Amino acid sequence: MKFDDRGILAACPEAGVDGQLPLLPDLSTFIEVIGLGFSPIDLIFLGIVVYEAWKIPAPIRLGSAA
Query: Model confidence over 5-50: pLDDT tens digits?
Result: 666 667 777 777 776 667 777 888 878 877 777 788 888 998 999 8
CA 37 vs CA 31, 32, 46, 47, 57: distances in Å:
11, 10, 13, 16, 30
The pTM is what? 0.39
Q: Are 49 and 41 in contact (CB under 8 A)?
A: no
pLDDT of residue 49: 92
Other Cβ atoms within 10 Å of 12 Cβ, number = 15
Query: Residue 8 belongs to what H/E stretch?
Result: helix 8-15
Distance CA 57, CA 54 (A): 7
